[in-house]
Structure 1
Amino acid sequence: MQPTPPQDVGLNHWNFPEAHEWDPNDDVVCIGGDLAPATIIDAYKHGMFPMYLDHQQSVLGWWSPVERGILELSDFRVTRSMRQSARSMRTTFNQAFRDVMIACSNTHKEGNWITEEFIEAYCRLHDLGWAHSVEVWQDDQLVGGLYGIRVDGFFAGESMFHRRRDASKVALMALVGAMQMAEMTLLDTQWWTEHLQSLGATELPRRDYLKRLELALTPAGVTPAKIVKTT
């Protein structure tokens, strides 16, 4: 099954600052706004993503890390262990989006930013065809997955989880393969981590990332290639 083509989310009614106005030393570029579909999608198109600034979740921040984590699709490292694990697992796309988000939220209980408000906002984007999930199944149990936002040739990976060894890596392997098939060009991991580095991730300065993002976004009105389900 192919994902629902993205629906028009309308205009963003908030004025985000332009990139040249951002503090060059701060990952947070502005605060406030809301989690309406138009706000979120416009933010991703301009290199930002939402996350609360505090544990009380009282201040919504819009982030564009000074050093941005990305995974070049051609650099993704598939190990023998991952291939072996994948043989006993089944992957799907967009079959259990809410369940994947909830599982990711439970994985990050300390400092968790995936609140019920975020789950509802991103499930709405999923219904509109902008947010996508990869599920990994074993014996008909959801054992891993990831979710994120896709705009044209760009995918922003938001979070992933695993309940079996390598299950999140198998989800990422499925995503990379689907992106390559769809001729997508930019997989954003938001921040660099040692774990992601072991899979091939690297960092780009914000300025370079924004250039890559611009190239990955096709002109308005162009129908993006569809990510197809893999099994």
Structure 2
Amino acid sequence: MSISPELLLHGYSIGVFPMAENRDDSEIFWVDPKRRGVIPLEGFHISRSLARRMRRGGYHVTIDQDFPGVLDGCADRAETWINAEIRALYLDLFAKGHAHSLEVWDGDALIGGVYGVVLGAAYFGESMFSRRTDASKIALAYLVDRLRLGGFKLFDTQFLTEHLASLGAVEITRGSYHRQLRDAIEMRADFTAPPSPTAQDVIQRNTQMS
């Protein structure tokens, strides 16, 4: 099944997203889960241990500086749904300004990150990866802070995992998700507008909201 970037965006707008069975499978199928994982932007949880790790430093965070690197980091695992066509599609969306990444670095080494698709005030988190302890948690903390400041209303994580649940993600029904989606894509938000925060800024804002 071959799909265009425009069809991919339409899929997101109606609540479905693409997957492949594995990196070597050329077939792509659409997924519309009965129950959807989301992170309420006012409910993200930074644990004391994560706050300590963030304050300790030794890393820096960027946005849209290495989208291909984040995409490949997410696919660099034994089993992945990112095949060659899906990779090309998201690179195209990034070039068109519809996809964004957030990177976590240790010096020049990319140690973690997350990428997703933007439509209106909805951010569709696609995947994340970590090459160092807590790198993906740090990425999510900075991402949620950016989404909130940028005016986003919906952070879709597709599925609920134990890892995401520990950070405040919840599961909602398909019907509830579609209602939130319809509202969010009609609103305006800006992923790139918020200035780069300090770790203390992120921790303080999340503590105030949680």
Q: Higher helix proportion, which one?
A: 2
Please state if 1:230 is matched with 2:196.
yes
CA distance in 2, matches of 1:60, 1:139: 37
Q: Which ranges of 4 or more aligned residues in structure 1 deviate by more than 4 Å? A: 53-56
Q: What is the Cα deviation at residue 36 of structure 1?
A: 1.2
**Does structure 2 retain, via aligned residues, the 8 Å contact 1:35–1:118?**
no
State the secondary structure of the residue aligned to 1:174.
Answer: helix
Q: What is the Cα deviation at residue 184 of structure 1?
A: 0.6
Root-mean-square deviation (CA), in Å?
A: 1.7
CA distance in 1, matches of 2:41, 2:189: 18
Please state if 1:203 is matched with 2:171.
yes
Please state if 1:95 is matched with 2:95.
no
One-letter amino acid matched to 1:230 = S
Deviations 1:25-76 (A, max 9, x none): xxxxxxx4x3311011000011000012467524321111000000101111
Q: Which runs of 5+ in 1 are unaligned?
A: 1-31
1:80 aligns with one of 33, 48, 62: 48
CA distance in 1, matches of 2:147, 2:17: 21
Task: Describe how 1:137-216 pairs up with structure 2 within 5 A.
Answer: 137-216=105-184
Deviations 1:141-184 (A, max 9, x none): 11100101011110011110111111001111111011110111
Distance 1:144 1:56, change over 3 A: closer
Identity of aligned residues (%): 37
CA distance in 1, matches of 2:44, 2:135: 16
Deviations 1:70-121 (A, max 9, x none): 01011111112222332222111000000011011003x22x1112221111
**Does structure 1 retain, via aligned residues, the 8 Å contact 2:22–2:82?**
no
CA distance in 2, matches of 1:121, 1:143: 24
State the secondary structure of the residue aligned to 1:42.
Answer: helix
**Does structure 2 retain, via aligned residues, the 8 Å contact 1:134–1:146?**
yes
**Does structure 2 retain, via aligned residues, the 8 Å contact 1:179–1:227?**
no
CA distance in 2, matches of 1:145, 1:82: 16
Name the residue aligned to 2:89: 121
How many residue pairs were aligned?
Answer: 194
Q: TM-score, normalised by structure 1?
A: 0.79
CA distance in 2, matches of 1:178, 1:197: 20
2:102 aligns with one of 120, 134, 137: 134
Name the residue aligned to 1:18: none
Name the residue aligned to 1:12: none
State the secondary structure of the residue aligned to 1:101.
Answer: helix
Q: Which runs of 5+ in 2 are unaligned?
A: 198-210
State the secondary structure of the residue aligned to 2:81.
Answer: coil
